[in-house]
A and B are shown apart, each in its own frame.
Chain A
Amino acid sequence: MLNTLEPHPGGWERLATTFVWSAAALVTATFCWLLGDIIWHGLSHISWAFLTTPPRNAGREGGIGPILVSTLLILGVCLGVAVPLGVGTAVLLAEFTTDTSLFGRLTRRSLDVLSGVPSIVFGLFGNAFFCKTLGLGFSILSGGLTLACMVLPILIRSTEEGFRTVPTGYRLSAAALGLSRTTTLLYLLLPAAVPGLLVGLVLGVGRAIAETAALIFTSGYVDRMPQSLLDSGRALSVHIFDLSMNVSGGDSHAYASALVLIFALLAINGATSWLTKHWLSRRIVTV
C-alpha cells in the first residue's frame, strides 16, 4: 500500500532507506550475536541439577540453586516495596498536583536526577544506610531495599505517564456521575494506567535483576541457601561477575548462569505482561 503512494524513490530516498534498514539490522544482529554466544557456551551446562544444587568449588562445579532463590527473594523484596510506593507517588504527581506546583516539580526533578545516579552509588548508600545505620547487615532485605531505591524513579515516572495518558473525559464523566475521587482512582484511572506501570515494571525488573554493583555491597556474596530475609544471599548477577572475573575456570558456569538470568528476565517480563492483560480484561471492558 505504502509503496504505491510513494513518489519514485530518488538517490537520497534510497540512501536513507538503506541507512534505516542497516541500523535496525545492526541492532538486531548485536542482540542475536549476544544471545547466540551465551546459548552456545552455556546451554550444554544447563540441567535440572544445575538449577537446583548448590555451587561447589567456588562455583566451578555444582549448580546455582541457592543463588536463584536469593535472586528471586531480593527481587520480591524490591518489588514489594517499590510498587506500592511507586504507584502512590505517581498518583500524587499525576492526579493531585498540577504541573506547575513547586512540590510536583521538585519531586519530578529529584526523581529524574535519581534515575541517572550510577548503581555503585546506590550500593554504597545501601551499604551505609541499610546495612550499617539500620543494622540489617549484609542481607537479602538490605539488597532488596537498595534495589527498590534504584527502581523507584523509573517506576514512578512511567506510572505517572500512564495516568497522564488517561483522557480527562474519564475524570469529568466520573465526577458527573457522582463517583468519589477514590472510586474513580481505584476503578477507572488505575486500570487505565496499568500499561504505564507495566512499562516501568519491566524496565525496573530488568535493571534490578541485572544489578551487580549495588548488590555486592548489600546482599553480599554468601552462596548458601538463605533461611531468612536477614541472611546474606548472592544474586545471580554477582555470581556471574565472580565466576567470570574472579574464579579461574569458572567461565563455562558463568555462561550457563547468564543464560538462566536472561531466560528468567524474559519469563518475568512475559508473565507480567500476560497477567496484566488477563487481569485487565476482567476489570474494564475497553480503554
Chain B
Amino acid sequence: MNICRVLCRPKKYALLVALVMITVFTDVPASAEDQRTASNQLNGKLVVTGSSTVAPLIAEMGKQFESLHSNVRIDVQTGGSSRGIADARQGLADIGMVSRAMKDDERDLQAFPVAHDGVCIILHRENPVQALADEQIVAIYTGKVTNWKAAGGTDAPITVVNKADGRSTLEVFLQYFKLRASDVKAHVVIGDNEQGVKTVAGNRTAIGYVSIGTAEYDATHGAPIRLLPIGEVPASSESVRKGVFPLSRPLHLVTKTSPSGLAKSFIEYAQSKAVHDLIRQQYFVPLAD
C-alpha cells in the first residue's frame, strides 16, 4: 500500500501538469489561411520562408505589421534563397525570400524587391590611395600584393581585413571578385560591419569591406574612412538604390501567383516608406523613394 501511495502521487501531478498544459496551450487554434480584406480588417497567418539574410529584416517588418493589424500573424522561416523559391512554388509558403537577382528560370514567380544589400571597400582616410582596380583588390586579398607601394600608395605593408564565414557581405564580396573563401589571405577577421569600420579607422594601412549603409553612416559621423568606388561608380547608397553599384544585390519577396489579400497588403507594406528605418537598422539600403 505504502509503495502504491508513493508511486501514485507523481502520477497525479503528472496528470495535473498535462491537463494544465493542454488547457493552456490548445485554446488558440491556428487560423490558417482565412485571409480577408473586408473593411480594413486584415486577419490570418502568412508563412514567409527563404534567405537567412533577408529573414531578420522581414521578421522585424512582420512584427511592425502585426502591431498595426492585431489579427495578423507573420511567421518567418529561414533555409536559404533556393528554399524560398521552392516553397513559394510548391505553395508551402505564401511568400518566399530571395537575396539575389532572379534567375531566368524563375520567371514563373512574381518577384518584389524590398531592399538592396550593398558592400563597399573602405580604407583609412589618410591613405593616399583614391581608387583600386578590381584586379588590384583581388591581388591584395589573395596575398599577391602585400605593400601599398605596389598599389599606388606609400611604402607600408597592407593589413587585409576580411569578414568571418557566414556573413552575407562576405558572400557578395567573394561572388563579385570570383574568389573562394579559402583564397583570401586575411590578417584580421571581423564579424559585424561596425567592427570592420573600427578596425580600418584604427589602422592607416588596412583595407576592408563592409555594408554600404554602415560605412556611409560612420564616414559622415566622423570615422576616418574612405569609401572606394568600384570601377567608375562611387560607393554610396544612392548608387545602390539606382542599381548601378556592382557590389550589390537586390533582396526580393516572391510569390507563386499575383498576390492578393493579406499577402498583397504585406508586400505593399514591405515596399513602403514606412519600413525604411527598419531596413537601415538591418544595414540594408531602402528602395528609391
The interface residues of chain A lying within 8 Å CB-to-CB of B166 are 245-246
Given A228-B27, A229-B26, A248-B193: A282 and B6 within 8 A (CB)? yes
A163-195 interface code vs B (CB 8 A; 1 in, 0 out): 000000000000000000000001100000000
Query: Are B191 and A228 interface neighbours, CB within 8 A?
Result: no
CA distance A282 to B7 in the complex (A): 10
Query: Are B79 and A217 interface neighbours, CB within 8 A?
Result: yes
Query: Counting CB contacts under 8 A, is B222 at the interface?
Result: no
The interface residues of chain A lying within 8 Å CB-to-CB of B59 are 58, 221-223
Q: Contacting chain A: which of B47-55, B129-137, B146-154, B254-262?
A: B47-55
Query: Are B92 and A132 interface neighbours, CB within 8 A?
Result: yes
Given A57-B60, A245-B166: A228 and B30 within 8 A (CB)? yes
Query: Are A283 and B193 interface neighbours, CB within 8 A?
Result: no
Query: Counting CB contacts under 8 A, is B75 at the interface?
Result: yes
Query: Counting CB contacts under 8 A, is B167 at the interface?
Result: yes
Query: Are A221 and B30 interface neighbours, CB within 8 A?
Result: no
B143-179 interface code vs A (CB 8 A; 1 in, 0 out): 0000000000000000000000011100000000000
B5-21 interface code vs A (CB 8 A; 1 in, 0 out): 01100100000000001
Residues from 253 to 271 in B contacting A, C-beta threshold 8 Å? none
B207-235 interface code vs A (CB 8 A; 1 in, 0 out): 00001000000000000000000000000
Interface size on A (CB < 8 Å)?
A: 35
The interface residues of chain A lying within 8 Å CB-to-CB of B191 are 248, 251
The A interface is mostly helix, strand or loop, or mixed, namely loop
Query: Are B281 and A57 interface neighbours, CB within 8 A?
Result: yes
Task: Say which residue of B6, B77, B192 sits within 8 Å of A283 (CB atoms).
Answer: B6
CA distance A229 to B22 in the complex (A): 9
The interface residues of chain B lying within 8 Å CB-to-CB of A132 are 92
| CB-CB nearest in chain B for A238 | B78
| CB-CB nearest in chain B for A135 | B32
Query: Are B53 and A246 interface neighbours, CB within 8 A?
Result: yes
The interface residues of chain B lying within 8 Å CB-to-CB of A247 are 56
Chain B interface bracket (under 10, 10 to 19, 20 to 34, 35 or more): 35 or more
Residues from 118 to 148 in A contacting B, C-beta threshold 8 Å? 132, 137-138
Query: Counting CB contacts under 8 A, is A230 at the interface?
Result: yes
A229-243 interface code vs B (CB 8 A; 1 in, 0 out): 111100000000010
Query: Are A248 and B192 interface neighbours, CB within 8 A?
Result: yes
Given A132-B92, A221-B59, A249-B192: A228 and B75 within 8 A (CB)? no
CA distance A228 to B282 in the complex (A): 30
Residues from 66 to 96 in B contacting A, C-beta threshold 8 Å? 73, 75-79, 92
The interface residues of chain A lying within 8 Å CB-to-CB of B21 are 76
| CB-CB nearest in chain B for A187 | B3
| B195, chain A: closest CB distance, angstroms | 9
Given A58-B59, A246-B52, A282-B6: A221 and B76 within 8 A (CB)? yes
CA distance A193 to B29 in the complex (A): 40
Query: Counting CB contacts under 8 A, is A279 at the interface?
Result: yes
Query: Are A216 and B75 interface neighbours, CB within 8 A?
Result: no
Query: Are B60 and A232 interface neighbours, CB within 8 A?
Result: no
Query: Counting CB contacts under 8 A, is B183 at the interface?
Result: no
| B12, chain A: closest CB distance, angstroms | 14
Query: Counting CB contacts under 8 A, is B283 at the interface?
Result: yes
The interface residues of chain B lying within 8 Å CB-to-CB of A30 are none
Interface residues of B (CB under 8 A from A): 3, 6-7, 10, 21, 25-30, 47, 52-53, 55-57, 59-60, 63, 73, 75-79, 92, 166-168, 191-194, 211, 281-283
Can you name 22 A-B residue pairings with CB atoms under 8 Å? A57-B60, A58-B56, A58-B59, A137-B30, A187-B3, A220-B77, A221-B59, A221-B78, A222-B76, A224-B73, A226-B25, A227-B27, A228-B25, A228-B28, A229-B25, A230-B29, A230-B30, A245-B167, A248-B167, A251-B191, A279-B10, A283-B7
Given contacts A228-B26, A228-B29, A248-B211, 8 further A-B contacts (CB under 8 A): A59-B56, A137-B30, A187-B3, A221-B78, A228-B25, A242-B78, A248-B193, A250-B192
